[in-house]
Amino acid sequence: MKRIIFVDDDTRVLEGLRRLMRGFRSQWQMEFFDNPLKALEQIEKQPPDVVVSDIRMPVMDGAELLTQVQERAPATIRIALSGQCDRAAVMRAIRPTHQFLAKPCEPETLRKTLTRLSELRDRVINEEVRAEISRIAALPVVPEALTQLRRVLTQDDVSIRTVAKLMASDVGMCAKVMQLVSSNFFGTQRSACLPEEAVRVLGMDVIRPLVLSQDLFTPIPLEEDLSHLGRFYNRLCCTVARAAQRIAQMENAGEPFCTYSYLGGLFAKVGVVIYAALDITKYHQIFRLAVEGHGSLRQLETQVYGVARTQAGAYLFALWGLPEPVVDAVMYADRPSASPVGGFTPTTAVHVAEVLVQRLVGSIGGGQPFLNQDYLRTIGLEDRLKSWEKEVEQVVEETFRDEEREGNVSEPVLQETATE
């Protein structure tokens, strides 16, 4: 049985939570504390699966409590459940908080959030890796992208459009921006929006201090002979995202579906960055083993960490509250027939886009990309493949043309196997 601790200095709120969660006592063991210091003492003795805390509390506020939980019980899922907070308090809570839910919270919303997180937590069976993933406050970013972003943000007259475009070009920045928008940190929850729109929704008042004052983003320390890898990785992910979106549009899918396809394609390989963030030295060694032909990067990652990169990526994004279709696409893009959702889905679009783009521009890993045509046949879409191939070729041509114009073209690294 999963164990959940609720913390709020207002005893009336705690009584409300008791009543709210009474119907779930058979599923979860729940404890309620009106004193964050006593809650922390109990958490240290026996780390719970989840902590749900208010932000505005005396003696120790929610941001400090969740920071302490992050350090002392890193595998614990950390959720802020709070009403109106000043921006400074929310800013302080960004690093240690996985999701921010607003009061009053519907019982079904809280139940669904906790259930989804518990299910994905169980899939990441390596507790050490799970704890390390839970520690992550933000993914590392390409040094050149961060330098350029910091430079433009020091300019008083920089446009939000310029900032949005820069942030949308880096997977690490996009991931954090989507967390902030998806999890309602600033009362601007959007379940389906593209990264550039998410940056505009958050606004310069949020983005500037996050990047300049709080140093939320850090550059990924790549060895000199691998410095081109970060640029290629971002270009590859952005190309897959555009291709997946275009495939969804070709099937006359609605706007949310197309947006989920874009995000799923953008983040399909986010596990690479997650493992690099955990230990860049170890990841350099794994990558070099792949280069030397000792196995595909994907296989070596799983051997070393005991967790497939798709599971690592899906778990982080579930923690961060990204939309469920995006999490599913990250989890199942390389094996779409394992998805619990049938028919044509964003996972389908991402699977096809990822394989077709890799065939054209290369990727990171070792081997050849695998397209599951049996899966496409099962859902009745195998005959659409030729049309998709032509469209993806067009997307790649457009991307390369844009990259050449901006002087950012880098060479492919390796080919990667996407096995079913």
Which whole number is the average pLDDT over 77-102? 87
Is residue 134 domain-resident?
Answer: no
Boundaries of domain holding 177: 143-213
Tally of domains in the chain: 3
Which whole number is the average pLDDT over 98-102? 90
Indicate whether 77 and 116 sit together in one domain: yes
Q: What pLDDT is stored for residue 280 in this prediction?
A: 87
pLDDT tens figures, 141-162:
999 999 999 999 999 899 999 9
**pLDDT for 419 beyond 50:** no
Is residue 19 domain-resident?
Answer: yes
Distance of alpha carbon 361 from alpha carbon 299, whole angstroms: 21
DSSP 8-state secondary structure symbol assigned to residue 29: E
Nearest by Cα to 420 from 333, 306, 307: 333
With both helix axes pointing from N to C terminus, report the angle between 346-361 and 227-250 in degrees, rounded to the nearest 10: 130
pLDDT tens figures, 374-391:
999 999 999 999 999 999
**End position of a domain, from candidates 152, 182, 213:** 213
Structure tokens given for 107: 């019982």
Indicate whether 176 and 320 sit together in one domain: no
Is residue 218 domain-resident?
Answer: no
Is residue 63 domain-resident?
Answer: yes
Q: What pLDDT is stored for residue 366 in this prediction?
A: 57
Using pLDDT thresholds of 50, 70 and 90, give the confidence band for residue 420.
very low
| 220 close to 230: Cβ distance less than 8 angstroms | yes
Is residue 166 domain-resident?
Answer: yes
Indicate whether 158 and 113 sit together in one domain: no
Indicate whether 103 and 181 sit together in one domain: no
Share of the chain above pLDDT 90, in %: 60
More confident residue, 229 or 137: 137
**End position of a domain, from candidates 159, 184, 213:** 213
Q: What pLDDT is stored for residue 334 in this prediction?
A: 92
Q: What is the CATH number of the domain that holds 72?
A: 3.40.50.2300
pLDDT tens figures, 351-367:
999 999 999 988 776 55
Place of tokens 């469209």: 391
pLDDT tens figures, 182-217:
988 887 777 789 999 999 999 999 999 999 987 789
pLDDT tens figures, 18-56:
988 888 888 889 999 999 999 999 999 999 999 999 999
Distance of alpha carbon 57 from alpha carbon 76, whole angstroms: 21
Indicate whether 267 and 320 sit together in one domain: yes
**pLDDT for 127 beyond 70:** yes
Indicate whether 231 and 288 sit together in one domain: yes
Indicate whether 167 and 84 sit together in one domain: no
Q: What is the pTM of this model?
A: 0.91
Indicate whether 271 and 201 sit together in one domain: no
**pLDDT for 85 beyond 80:** no
Q: What pLDDT is stored for residue 35 in this prediction?
A: 96
Indicate whether 71 and 158 sit together in one domain: no
Is residue 315 domain-resident?
Answer: yes
Is residue 136 domain-resident?
Answer: no
Indicate whether 344 and 281 sit together in one domain: yes
Q: What pLDDT is stored for residue 31 in this prediction?
A: 96
Is residue 77 domain-resident?
Answer: yes
Indicate whether 193 and 96 sit together in one domain: no
Which whole number is the average pLDDT over 283-294? 86
Place of tokens 């990169």: 309
**End position of a domain, from candidates 67, 95, 123:** 123
Which whole number is the average pLDDT over 334-363? 94
Q: What is the CATH number of the domain that holds 352?
A: 1.10.3210.10
Contacts of 177 (CB under 8 A, 6+ apart): 167, 195, 198, 199, 202
Indicate whether 200 and 235 sit together in one domain: no
Q: What pLDDT is stored for residue 367 in this prediction?
A: 58
